[in-house]
Amino acid sequence: MLVTSFLRALPAALLFLGTNAIPVEDHQKRQASIDAFVTSEAAVSIQGVLANIGADGSKAQGVPAGIVIASPSRSSPDYYYTWTRDAALTYKALIERFVSGDTSLRQKIDEYVSAQAYLQTVSNPSGAPDSGGLGEPKFNVDRTAFTGAWGRPQRDGPPLRATALVIYANWLIANGNQTYAANTVWPVIAKDLGYAVTYWNQTGFDLWEEVNGSSFFTLSATHRALVEGAALATKLSQTCSGCADAAPQVLCFMQSFWTGSYIDSNINVNDGRTGKDVNSIISSIHTFDPAAACTDATFQPCSSRALANHKAVTDSFRTVYGINSGIAQGKAVAVGRYFEDVYYNGNPWYLATLAAAEQLYSAAYQWDQLGSVTVDSTSLAFFRDLVPSIATGTYAKGSSTYTSILSAVRTYADGYIAVVQKYTPSNGGLAEQFDKSSGSPLSAADLTWSYAAFLTAADRRTGTVGPTWGEPSNNTPPTSCTGTVACNAQITFNVRATTTFGENVFVVGQLTQLGNWDPNSAKPLSASKYTSSDPLWYATIDLPASTAFEYKYIRKSSSGAVTWESDPNMSYTTSAGCGSSASVNDTWR
């Protein structure tokens, strides 16, 4: 284990961790406990993942082969669906495990390829297969479209799925299976890359399915997929139209999320949040390249930006969860999605806490490969939490300062594993959340993503990493960005609604541009063409192109009273193409 080498390098009497000195004997006992937990929980986690995959998963009985259920939970909450994002991140973990030698997973991976190829043909509320439908976030487990109200589209699924399958395709090519890679796997990847090229600069819902704007997670996943997809296309003598041109522009756009001290995870949206969101940490671990330097532009785990962001995000949870009370600065805490979260009253998530650990293990791997750690003004506060006497500078591998930094970072990472250990039940089952006051598991039980997150964190802890995706030659943004202005369509809403003097009509819906269902932010319609025989209210509003959404009209009286039209919500998909236009014609219900 990594721990043995850095323990030997420390003074014999004490191991210095932040501002506290811990006897080596006590630390070794704690370390043995973490080692044992990682070993046992990794075994539980791989079984937990496989149990949630059809057709033979013990908790996915009757589910088609290769389909990943998010959780067996069917009520409070109902997660018995297959999400494109969750499935892709889960299979990325499985494919990396397969590439590392677990040949038992081959059939499961081929079944995933087939399942995703089928889902790509299913028309759904986000659109048809070739007109936006790949942005549909979830499907029924029987592979039919989910047609209920939801935050759609979500544009992270296609690039995440492409990344998982690119890793597999590269393995196939290296092992004499180029024909299968080209004829079966590539067509799935190509469709996802085509979607990414078309929609990368359009807003959509974030990975938490709450914010409709520009998501850092989506953009960073898209950049990686386009880079490695273009390279795979060349290897297979295929065409990846637009991939090589779009990738650097996506990277250029990603720089817009950096505030100077942390990543604002969602921009081009007025969500009332700081933007400190574990979304950004998950982005960093997804786009981790073991061959990369500590590149700020791609927010590599060891980059100064990513480390400063790690501190900003994790520190934001120190005072909002009771179970974090009394934990000193520089010590691991339970981590949630974002500190303003209200879902289930806002709690830590297992996968979020594990992501905080995984970024640090990945950073340690990168420093070991590079042979040095650089501390600059951006990352200094992060390092001073762990090594209070540290100063800016570059510290070479083998120096006492380098050794102190690496030991402190790895111990800090183990602290996040210890938090998960503390709040994991004795059977090892990982739910979605754990209570912020008591630590009891909450929300969906046996969350597939939680198990997958444990597997990747455990791998990074032992120095097991995935293949390079080409970051070292694709990490320089252009000097100027193009195509990063939102791609909008002009939609004219026409509704016939008879009103009385003093009443006005508004349109409101699930898009940010339509007020996110908030009547106070609804868009007013004009009555300039209103007549008794044609009570027309209308307005032309810029909305994201090729985007499915739901909406309603409301009346507001002169006193401010709001009247909603009757159910159900209405749905519409905006026209394709930047600057396109279309009209909606409705009658008040």
Query: What does 501-568 look like in DSSP terms, one character per residue?
Result: TT-EEEEEESSGGGGGG-GGGPEEPB-TT--SSS-EEEEEEEEETT-EEEEEEEEE-TT--EEEPPSS
Q: Which of 206, 271, 296, 471 is catalytic?
A: 206
Residue 209 known to be catalytic: yes
Query: Is 150 known as a binding-site position?
Result: yes
Q: Where are the alpha helices (DSSP H) in 236-278?
A: 243-254
Residue 206 known to be catalytic: yes
Q: What three-state secondary structure class fits 233?
A: helix
Count Cα neighbours of 30 within 13 Å in the Cβ-side half-sphere.
16
Q: Which of 572, 497, 573, 586 is nearest to 536 (CA)?
A: 497
DSSP code at position 9: T
Contact 307, 278 (CB under 8 A): no
Sequence-separated (6 or more) residues with CB below 8 Å from residue 193: 158, 159, 162, 225, 226, 229, 240, 243
CB atoms within 10 A of CB 523: 16
The backbone torsions φ and ψ at residue 60, rounded to the nearest 5 degrees and listed phi first, read: -130, 40
CB atoms within 10 A of CB 318: 18
Parallel, antiparallel or unpaired: strands 570-573 and 266-267: unpaired
- Overall size of the chain counted in residues: 589
CA angle 240, 192, 112 (to 5 degrees): 120
Token output for 562: 């709001």
Q: What distance lies between CA 211 and its chain's CA centroid?
A: 13
Q: Which of 209, 210, 340, 565 is catalytic?
A: 209
**CA–CA gap between residue 327 and residue 120 (Å, rounded):** 47
First-to-last C-alpha distance (Å) of the chain: 66
**CA–CA gap between residue 443 and residue 79 (Å, rounded):** 10
**CA–CA gap between residue 165 and residue 162 (Å, rounded):** 5
Parallel, antiparallel or unpaired: strands 488-496 and 581-587: parallel
Binding residues for substrate: 150
Binding site residue list? 150
Residue numbers annotated as active site: 206, 209
